[in-house]
Amino acid sequence: MDHHYLCGIIQEIEIKENIKILYACESGSRAWGFPSLDSDYDIRFIYQRRKTDYLSVFSIEEDIKYPIVGDLDIYGWDIRKVLKLLYKSNCTLYEWLQSPICYGDYSFFKNDFITLLDYAPNLRAHMHHYLGLCNKKMEGLDQSNISLKDFLYIARSLLSALWIETNRSYAPMEMKDLMQLLPSDLIKSLESIIMIKASVREDFIFSPDEKLCIYMKNTFKKLKDTVMMLPALKISVEPINSYFIDLIRKEDDDN
């Protein structure tokens, strides 16, 4: 689908919802680097309402969700929700801000906001998140056949957890960066699998490489034993509040 067309959808949402979209990106397999022929466009955005909306006695909705139509899956989070999720060190937020596919970036929002990610990511929570995603599907590695989509979801989640354990930092979003942690022969194997996925549909079933499966199962077991050794830090409230106040004040300056 044409990138310019998708950027136009973001502009239409901004007008329709009477909001300012600060940032919009692709999430999911297209941004991770292993789409299928029929992968959805998972469009995610961060938006800001008018200053008076945040002064209301009654709480305002902090999500905008649209029904999935065709291959378009679109939803967004209010900046206030985003900052609450940042305080909880939400992994999804960390991924959005690293997406290689951008559909809108108001006044270089990403460059300013991404510095907040480095304050104190809760690496233990991040690693638990990725291991949890693996855990739901690990038994598939013991089968002779598995969904190619599920296999790559396991691989990416596992390598994200391994990145955190190895580098003591939050994981990059793209598979091409994560797979550098693998031995060279397994990198080639995973690259071949990603090439297959690019030419098939989401429901494709295949027989995974046995050596890669063994590596993944052994790594999962090791990481489950080491996750509690990681720091469980929490970002301070002050920079989050300061960021929100400055953002709202900037609206006055813009007007």
Q: For the structural domain made of 3-118+236-254, what CATH number should be given?
A: 3.30.460
The pTM score is: 0.93
- In tens digits, the chain (255 residues) has pLDDT values of 899 999 999 999 999 999 999 999 999 999 999 999 999 999 999 999 999 999 888 888 999 999 999 999 999 999 999 999 999 999 999 999 999 999 999 988 999 898 888 887 899 999 999 999 998 889 999 999 999 999 999 999 999 999 999 999 999 999 999 999 999 999 999 999 999 999 999 999 999 999 999 999 999 999 999 999 998 888 889 989 999 999 988 876 665
Query: How many residues make up the chain in this entry?
Result: 255
CA angle, 2 then 44 then 160, to 5°? 105
Question: Which residues fall within 8 angstroms of residue 111, CB to CB, at 6 or more apart?
Answer: none
DSSP string, 87-121: HTT-HHHHHHTT-S-EEEEGGGHHHHHGGGGGS--
Please state, in angstroms and rounded to a whole number, the distance separating the CA atoms of residues 154 and 169: 20
Domain boundaries, the chain: 3-118+236-254, 123-229
Give the C-alpha distances (Å, rounded to integers) separating 52 from 11, 55, 57, 64, 248.
Answer: 22, 5, 10, 18, 10
The answer for 23, left when phi > 0, alpha when psi is -120 to 50, beta otherwise, is beta
Amino acid identity, position 234: K
pLDDT at position 94: 95
Closest to 248 measured CA to CA, from 58, 7, 65, 78: 78
> Tokens at residue 139, please?
């038994």
pLDDT at position 195: 96
pLDDT at position 255: 56
DSSP-derived letter for residue 35 is -
The answer to whether residues 159 and 179 touch, using CB atoms and an 8 Å cutoff, is: yes
> Tokens at residue 89, please?
């060190």
The answer to whether residues 159 and 182 touch, using CB atoms and an 8 Å cutoff, is: yes
pLDDT at position 254: 63
Please state, in angstroms and rounded to a whole number, the distance separating the CA atoms of residues 239 and 253: 21
Please state, in angstroms and rounded to a whole number, the distance separating the CA atoms of residues 91 and 86: 9
What sections of the chain are H helices per DSSP?
3-17, 29-32, 79-87, 91-96, 109-113, 123-135, 148-167, 175-178, 184-197, 210-226, 237-254
pLDDT at position 240: 92
